């Protein structure tokens, strides 16, 4: 087992990101990509048997990325506005290059979650993540879809708040009674059975109407530090997410900016560039992205039958608890490791993994 190491690196547009490695340094590697407003800590919670521990026991080295939307980085709260385009064009290729420089020709997988998975989908279909052994996307991938209530809240909320509020703090304690945002935060955190207002904020998707996790799946110690796990949520991302959801496809936001010309206008139309197996995971109670990954599996299987794409639904799970839930090691991570093992074995044998009937 190698010692955990962390280092910083810059993207081509000058944003400082972080990577840290955990696990054996002689086996396949896995780049873990978190969601928006959280951090790589979601993959390494010490109070539960986390995914990096499960991967290490299976012989995989984890590389935990903190991209520009990480609450561990100053850029998330005080940096310039960004969209998913920036993550796909700058953050992910730079991180991949950093990992490649350190692992050589060992197999490299990507495991992604939520907004991180949208960025992976966009970057992958742009051909900016070459040579991957496989990709796992949790919650959403190429075809984002939310509930009707969440759609209306995104449409209205982004317009009403976007011009007045640059970001929202998840930690209710930072607001105080005399803040100009007190009434806004009180409204956003009014729903839910939990007495902790910060928990209610994150439980309902930072006020966008979608529950982020099944509350009873969290270890009490995880629940006690929710305010530390969830950071500021920049609202500059909302218009791009709204555009994607209305299209039910990952689409480029910066269509008139030549700097982003490498990204496809519509990633579903460019999905034939996916050249590695893909596992789509989703909790059966995912209220954040409802049946987005089931839809994605149907679309890819129909339009691109040559792509090795599989879909696995986790009974009883929501969205984020698929990684931070106290029972995720038993209920979720086995599916992930089985996929990695199958693909790794097939690659060693020089064959494509899985027959069409198994996909």
| Cα 312 from Cα 319, distance rounded (Å) | 13
pLDDT at res. 1: 37
What are the residues facing 6 on neighbouring strands? 20
pLDDT at res. 62: 98
pLDDT at res. 2: 43
112 neighbors 135 (Cβ within 8 angstroms): yes
* Token code pair at residue 158: 């982004």
| Cα 293 from Cα 286, distance rounded (Å) | 10
List average pLDDT for each run of 10 residues in the chain, which is 359 residues long.
Answer: 74 97 94 94 97 98 96 79 96 98 96 97 98 97 84 57 59 60 57 75 66 92 91 81 92 97 98 97 94 98 97 97 97 98 87 43
Report helix, strand or coil for 89: helix
pLDDT at res. 335: 98
pLDDT at res. 191: 60
pLDDT at res. 159: 54
- 149-167 exposure pattern, b = at least 16 Cβ within 10 A, e = fewer: ebbebbeebbeebeeeeeb
64 neighbors 43 (Cβ within 8 angstroms): yes
| Cα 322 from Cα 197, distance rounded (Å) | 22
């Amino acid at each position: 087992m190698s010692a955990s190491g962390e280092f910083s690196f810059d993207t081509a547009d000058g944003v400082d990101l972080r990577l840290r490695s955990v696990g054996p340094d002689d086996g396949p590697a896995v780049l873990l990509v978190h969601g928006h407003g959280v951090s790589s800590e979601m993959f390494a919670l010490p109070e539960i048997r986390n995914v990096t521990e499960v991967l290490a026991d299976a012989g995989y080295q984890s590389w935990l990325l903190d991209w520009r939307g990480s609450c561990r980085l100053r850029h998330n709260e005080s940096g310039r506005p960004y969209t998913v385009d920036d993550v796909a064009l700058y953050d992910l290729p730079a991180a991949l290059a950093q990992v490649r420089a350190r692992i050589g020709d060992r197999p490299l997988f990507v495991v992604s979650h939520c907004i991180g998975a949208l960025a992976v989908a966009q970057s992958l279909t742009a051909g900016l993540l070459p040579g991957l052994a496989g990709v796992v996307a949790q919650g959403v991938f190429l075809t984002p879809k939310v509930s009707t209530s969440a759609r209306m809240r995104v449409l209205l909320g982004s317009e009403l708040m976007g011009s007045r509020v640059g970001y929202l703090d998840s930690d209710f304690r930072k607001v105080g009674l005399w803040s100009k945002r007190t009434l806004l935060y009180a409204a956003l955190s009014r729903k839910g059975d939990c007495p902790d207002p910060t928990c209610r904020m994150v439980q309902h998707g930072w006020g966008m109407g979608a529950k982020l996790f099944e509350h009873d799946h969290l270890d009490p110690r995880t629940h006690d530090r929710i305010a530390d796990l969830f950071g500021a949520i920049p609202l500059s991302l909302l218009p791009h997410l709204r555009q994607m959801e209305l299209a039910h496809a990952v689409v480029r936001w910066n269509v008139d900016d030549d700097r982003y010309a490498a990204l496809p206008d519509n990633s579903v139309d460019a999905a034939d560039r996916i050249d590695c197996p893909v596992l789509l995971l989703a909790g059966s109670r995912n209220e954040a992205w409802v049946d987005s990954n089931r839809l994605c599996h149907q679309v890819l299987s129909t339009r691109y039958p040559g792509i090795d794409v599989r879909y696995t639904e986790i009974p009883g799970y929501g969205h984020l608890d698929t990684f931070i839930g106290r029972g995720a090691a038993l209920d979720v991570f086995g599916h992930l490791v089985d996929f990695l093992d199958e693909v790794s074995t097939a690659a060693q044998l020089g064959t494509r993994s899985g027959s069409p009937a198994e996909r």
